[in-house]
Structure 1
Amino acid sequence: MTSSNPPQDKMIFKCDKQAAIVSDKLLSFYKENELFDTVLIAGSDCVNIQAHRVVLCAFSEYFLEKFRTTLQPNNNIIQLKEIEASTLKLIIDFMYTGSIELSLANIDELLRIVSFLKIKTLIEGCCELIEQNISSSNSLGYLRLANELSLPTLKAKSLECIYTHFEQISKEKEILMLSKDELKDLLFNDNPYGDFEESVFLSMVAWINYDKLNRTQVTFELLSMIRFWVLTPKFIVENRKPVCKTLESYELICSWLQWHLSPETRSNDQPNYASIPRTRTEKLAVVGVIEREEICIQTFNSKENSWSIKMKTPLLLEKDLCATIVIDNKLLVVGGYHNDELTNKVQCLEMGTKDWVDFPPMKTPRLECQLADLNGHLCVYGFDNNNMPCMEIYNFSTCKWNDLQPISQPSVASRITGHNGKLYILDFNKGFL
């Protein structure tokens, strides 16, 4: 080992073989059973495996944490009885030699052990072998393993294979053995590998039917995650019966069909609904601010935690004390006063085109209107000219208003809301009705 620097009083000498020398010395100590300072007790038969603490800590975050926080300075024994001695010996050999033979025959168990010991290099090696051998026959099992051990890259590779062969894999019995959370993670991901919502729906039904006693109760939760806009009305009608076991599920199926059969959905200028993601990473809250002569639409970006003005547009009619709601990308301005008279007129702003369109007036002029979205229908609660409470509901499919049975003894302080196909009324004097 020489230096190429010219003669001088001082110099910095660097040994290019430093790491190799240390590695070779440690391996020599290991082979010759010299200078060990740690004993690992492995397996049910308590086999002793000796090693050097510095090597264990260099490769394993588990051992590093043990020596830093758990063990006393004079304690050099670590119990690992849940790991077979032969497997642990192979792992310790790898720490000294940098080489280990990996086999698909035992890769699952080895990956669990090195994940427990937090040996990053071996985790990467095991995952590389698995990813090279993922197929339609084993991808579901490797997905469960990736979820169990929190391995995102392996999970992504497994999902890619599953979605590529979903028509085949969805018919396997293994999918019926998944837990609810595993099923949701598998079926209700937004994936770029194809559109197979019918198979997703049928797989969900098969999973529920496999254990009806314990799984029927989560039908509505799973059903509400289906991308119904991708399914056809014919498919929904033909396959609705297995999931229409509760009122909530039945009402949800009805709302799907109503959406499909509504005039605006059936028109030719609709967007490609198959491209709509199942889950949204960013949501917009739309607010209509009514002023004397115009309406201002503002949006809230939850990701940036900020508001911005989307549009400003003049009102067709001058109104006071009206109510607003957004349903199916339409902003509806309902009731209130016009020319000092109570009005039954409803204004409708198409959010996409920014155009005001005609909308049928209510049967009854109303004041103090409360609005609710009831499965895509517009429900209006308010007080007429005689200060009597009354309710109407607008069906977007038939374009007609219908009266609803009024509640008994409501007050001006009542508030209404729609949820899961039911109408709730909160009276501040009486509670929920």
Structure 2
Amino acid sequence: MQEQKSSTPINHLNNYTTKLCVKLLTFSENGQFSDICIISSDGIKFNAHKCVLSAASDYFMAMFGGSLKESSSTEVKIHEINGKVLQLVLTFLYTGQIQLQSDTMKDILRAATFFQIQPLITECYNSMAENLDAKNCLEIALFANQHELLELYKKATKFASLNFEKICKENDILQLDEHQLGEIISSEELCVSSEEIVYLNLIKWMEHDKLNREQSAIKLLSRIRYWLLSPNFIKEHRSKLPKQMECFDMVCTWLEWHLLPECQKNTPMAFSKPIKPGLLFVGGGKIQTYDDKLNIWTIESFQNLPTSFMNVVAAKYKLIFAILSSRTLLSFDLQTHEVTNLPSRNGQSEYNGMVMLNDELYVFSKNSRLVEKFNFSTYKWHNVTPMNTIFVNPKAAIDDGNLYVVSSESSFMDIFSHATNDWTSKAVKDIPKLGFGFTEANGNLFIVGGREEIKSRYITKNNYFKKVQIYDQFVSMWKNFDEMKFALAEMYCTSWNKQLITCGGMDDTSTYLNLVQAYYPINFNYQSKYKWKTLSPLIEYKPNTSYGLVAIN
């Protein structure tokens, strides 16, 4: 028998798929083999095939693949979408192709979101981001804010900051709310030929709806860089300011600053220079900032900085404080030093932990599985899928876009996937009982230090740990890693410049230490030659004081 020669298969898949999609679309347009009629809000009918729609859209999959009455219907009316847009979207479902025009793009994006068609959502998002200009950037920012498209909102807002003078000529800023206008004029990307332009357009924004905007304008006026205005300009335009005393005081303060040289040595706190990003140790009404080039800490006091708090996290250029024994969350702006209250949460339980994930603030409730998240772009709270486990004292960390929650009293670790919006639980062992640190560094999760109470008949003794554990996600186990030089508990941990950082803590003599340590972890299979190193100590670290360690990269 003659041996057959092997041949390399020729890949015609792309051409085959294209022809197949076009044929299916032709069937739809001609009504061939159709088993469903989709009716738009304005009564236009489109023949379609349930299997094609279900394969391309989660919305239709839920409609036709479940027990809903539509699964056996031959007609379905879509009340939210008109015929022009529905035809374009259905064509995309069949062929994966669409022509995006500026006059229909937003309607198509709404429809793509409604039908849960992620490739079309991405296509619309990319097209909007690529075609930003001075005439449409604010409109797109408003649209993105309304529909919680965070990345698109960021790009549109940044574009508006870079082109502030152009958009002011279009008068589009008059439609912005306080939060959106504040983000633009406070942005480091703000590009103007003169600070006078910012000031005059802020006044114009206020006068457009003075009755409802005057109080907001007072807050926004504090973000003006008055040191860039001339004293003559301030005097000439002070009559346009709101009549409240705080505005009068602000104008007088800055006139003094301009006219009296000795005042310039003491810039008012509310207008002092922004705090630079980096490693910040916060507490006692002060912020200690680490300079890694000089290996030194500097310290600065702030009268309005919260002093009694349970936790602090960094959100962009803001510090978010959870106030002790309350449901209050305060925001401290590192650029303007302004303190504001975040809107009230939906849940009634007392706060019990928080963490930042994908520019959103996740908050845990006390003795509850309830989790809520705050979106800083929309400035709204949203409920999150409840945790599987009730944690008494949860500690949270972020790694690879997932949220990990552990606690000393639980033998489980709950893991939240941002992609699926769901929790899973993993059994874990050997977590210290008290005072351990929990953080991510260089793509790995770490548990650092901690202590355990050993009780005898007459005395209770604390056993402190040097050990550092790293999480091996492949076998769902914590493994021992390089030990610290000192046995510590109650320290503050974070990740900064790919390093694992600890600040403060208490040793086995119950002494509070101003110790600062750094470790550069490579991976959990390799014991690094770069052991723990001691950095310059904190300037101030007192017992019975609320502290927090944050890194702003």
Q: TM-score with structure 2 length normalisation?
A: 0.43
Tell me, yes or no, if the aligned pair for 1:43 and 1:82 is still in contact at 8 Å.
yes
Q: Which residue does the alignment assign to 1:79? A: 77
Q: CA deviation at 1:74?
A: 3.2
Inter-CA distance 168–24: structure 2 relative to 1 (3 Å threshold): closer
Q: Whose helix proportion is higher, 1 or 2?
A: 1
Inter-CA distance 6–36: structure 2 relative to 1 (3 Å threshold): same
**In structure 1, what residue type is equivalent to 2:52?**
V
Q: CA deviation at 1:261?
A: 5.8
Inter-CA distance 222–146: structure 2 relative to 1 (3 Å threshold): same
**Do structure 1's residue 235 and structure 2's residue 210 form an aligned pair?**
no
**In structure 2, what residue type is equivalent to 1:326?**
S
Structure 2 residue corresponding to 1:117, chosen from 85, 95, 115:
115
Inter-CA distance 264–276: structure 2 relative to 1 (3 Å threshold): farther
**Do structure 1's residue 17 and structure 2's residue 13 form an aligned pair?**
yes
Q: CA deviation at 1:43?
A: 1.9
Inter-CA distance 276–58: structure 2 relative to 1 (3 Å threshold): farther
**Do structure 1's residue 141 and structure 2's residue 139 form an aligned pair?**
yes
TM alignment of 1:241-390, pairs within 5 A: 241-259=239-257, 266=264, 276=274, 285=282, 287=284, 299=288, 310=297, 326=301
**In structure 2, what residue type is equivalent to 1:86?**
K
Q: Which residue does the alignment assign to 1:388? A: none
Inter-CA distance 179–34: structure 2 relative to 1 (3 Å threshold): same
More moved, 214-223 vs 156-165: 156-165
Q: CA deviation at 1:67?
A: 4.7
Aligned residues: 290
Q: Which residue does the alignment assign to 1:166? A: 164
Q: Which residue does the alignment assign to 2:37? A: 39
Structure-1 separation of matches of 2:298 and 2:134: 50
Report the 3-state secondary structure (helix = DSSP H, G, I; strand = E; otherwise coil) of the residue aligned with 1:170. Answer: helix
**1:160-218, CA deviations, whole angstroms, 9 ceiling, x for partnerless residues?**
44334322322333322333344334333332645753322221111111222222232
Inter-CA distance 192–178: structure 2 relative to 1 (3 Å threshold): closer
Higher RCO by CA contacts (8 Å cutoff, separation 6 or greater)? 2
**In structure 1, what residue type is equivalent to 2:211?**
L
More moved, 249-258 vs 80-89: 249-258
Structure-1 separation of matches of 2:107 and 2:210: 33
**Do structure 1's residue 51 and structure 2's residue 26 form an aligned pair?**
no
Structure-2 separation of matches of 1:82 and 1:110: 11
Inter-CA distance 57–283: structure 2 relative to 1 (3 Å threshold): farther
Tell me, yes or no, if the aligned pair for 2:185 and 2:223 is still in contact at 8 Å.
no
**In structure 1, what residue type is equivalent to 2:85?**
T
RMSD: 4.5
Larger Rg: 1
Structure-1 separation of matches of 2:197 and 2:67: 51
Tell me, yes or no, if the aligned pair for 2:89 and 2:108 is still in contact at 8 Å.
no
TM alignment of 1:415-426, pairs within 5 A: none
Inter-CA distance 241–300: structure 2 relative to 1 (3 Å threshold): same
**In structure 1, what residue type is equivalent to 2:301?**
V
Structure-2 separation of matches of 1:15 and 1:83: 39
Report the 3-state secondary structure (helix = DSSP H, G, I; strand = E; otherwise coil) of the residue aligned with 1:239. Answer: helix
Report the 3-state secondary structure (helix = DSSP H, G, I; strand = E; otherwise coil) of the residue aligned with 2:169. Answer: coil
Tell me, yes or no, if the aligned pair for 2:226 and 2:254 is still in contact at 8 Å.
yes
Structure-2 separation of matches of 1:285 and 1:266: 27
Structure-2 separation of matches of 1:203 and 1:224: 14
Q: Structure 2: 5+ residue runs without aligned partners?
A: 304-336, 338-553
Structure 1 residue corresponding to 2:59, chosen from 62, 73, 90:
62
Structure 1 residue corresponding to 2:95, chosen from 85, 94, 97:
97
**1:403-433, CA deviations, whole angstroms, 9 ceiling, x for partnerless residues?**
xxxxxxxxxxxxxxxxxxxxxxxxxxxxxxx
**In structure 1, what residue type is equivalent to 2:48?**
A
Tell me, yes or no, if the aligned pair for 1:230 and 1:274 is still in contact at 8 Å.
no
Structure-1 separation of matches of 2:231 and 2:177: 29
Q: Which residue does the alignment assign to 1:198? A: 196
Q: Structure 1: 5+ residue runs without aligned partners?
A: 8-12, 289-296, 302-307, 313-324, 329-375, 377-433
More moved, 188-197 vs 248-257: 188-197
Structure-1 separation of matches of 2:284 and 2:296: 10
**In structure 2, what residue type is equivalent to 1:247?**
M
Q: CA deviation at 1:246?
A: 0.6
Structure-2 separation of matches of 1:134 and 1:311: 42
Structure-2 separation of matches of 1:298 and 1:110: 48
Inter-CA distance 310–180: structure 2 relative to 1 (3 Å threshold): closer
Q: CA deviation at 1:63?
A: 3.1
Structure-1 separation of matches of 2:62 and 2:302: 55
Tell me, yes or no, if the aligned pair for 1:114 and 1:123 is still in contact at 8 Å.
yes
Inter-CA distance 242–24: structure 2 relative to 1 (3 Å threshold): closer
Structure 2 residue corresponding to 1:225, chosen from 223, 226, 239:
223
Q: CA deviation at 1:242?
A: 1.7
Inter-CA distance 259–143: structure 2 relative to 1 (3 Å threshold): same
Inter-CA distance 262–133: structure 2 relative to 1 (3 Å threshold): same
**1:117-144, CA deviations, whole angstroms, 9 ceiling, x for partnerless residues?**
3333333333444445433233332332
**In structure 1, what residue type is equivalent to 2:46?**
I
Q: CA deviation at 1:41?
A: 2.0
Structure-1 separation of matches of 2:230 and 2:239: 16
**In structure 2, what residue type is equivalent to 1:17?**
L
Structure-1 separation of matches of 2:274 and 2:263: 14
Inter-CA distance 223–85: structure 2 relative to 1 (3 Å threshold): same
Structure-1 separation of matches of 2:148 and 2:112: 13
Inter-CA distance 24–326: structure 2 relative to 1 (3 Å threshold): closer
Q: Which residue does the alignment assign to 1:155? A: 153
Tell me, yes or no, if the aligned pair for 1:38 and 1:77 is still in contact at 8 Å.
yes
**In structure 2, what residue type is equivalent to 1:57?**
S
Tell me, yes or no, if the aligned pair for 2:162 and 2:190 is still in contact at 8 Å.
no
